Amino acid sequence: MPSPTSLMPSASPVRWYAPTLVKASVACHLGAGAAVLAEAALWPWSLSAVAIDHALLVGAGLWPRSTWLGSNLRRLPEASAQRGEVSITIDDGPDPDVTPAVLDILDAHGAHATFFCIASRAAQYPQLCREIVARGHSVQNHSHRHSHTFSLWGPRAFAREISVAQGTLSQITGQRPVFFRAPAGLRNPFLAPVLDQQGLQLVSWTRRGFDTVYTNPAGVLARLTQGLSAGDILLLHDANSKIAPSGKPVVLEVLPDLLRLIEQAGLRPVTLPEALA
pLDDT in tens, 165-213: 999 999 999 999 999 999 999 999 999 999 999 999 999 999 999 999 9
Shared-domain flag, residues 50 and 137? no
Of 56, 31, 25, nearest to 46 by C-alpha is 31
Quote the CA–CA distance of 172 and 57 in Å, as a whole number: 36
The pTM of the full predicted model, rounded to 2 decimals, is: 0.85
| Residues 33 and 112 placed together within one structural domain of the fold | no
Does the pLDDT value for residue 35 go beyond 50? Answer: no
Considering the domain architecture, whether residues 105 and 135 belong to the same structural domain is answered as yes
Q: Distance between CA 137 and CA 139 in Å, rounded?
A: 7
Q: How many domains does the chain have?
A: 2
Residue type (1 letter), 119: A
Mean pLDDT of the chain, nearest integer: 86
CA distance 202 to 224: 21
pLDDT-derived band of residue 99, with 50, 70 and 90 as boundaries?
very high
Decide if 162 contacts 180 (C-beta within 8 A): yes
Rounded to 5°, angle at Cα 270 from 167 and 172: 20
Residue 184 and residue 110 share a domain: yes
pLDDT score of 54 more than 50: no
In the chain, where do the E strands start and end? 85-91, 114-117, 138-141, 179-180, 201-202, 207-208, 233-237, 268-269
- 55 and 88 part of one domain: no
Find out whether 89 and 217 touch, Cβ atoms under 8 Å. no
Domain of residue 237: give its range.
78-276
Q: Do 148 and 217 have their domain in common?
A: yes
CA distance 214 to 186: 20
161: domain CATH number is: 3.20.20.370
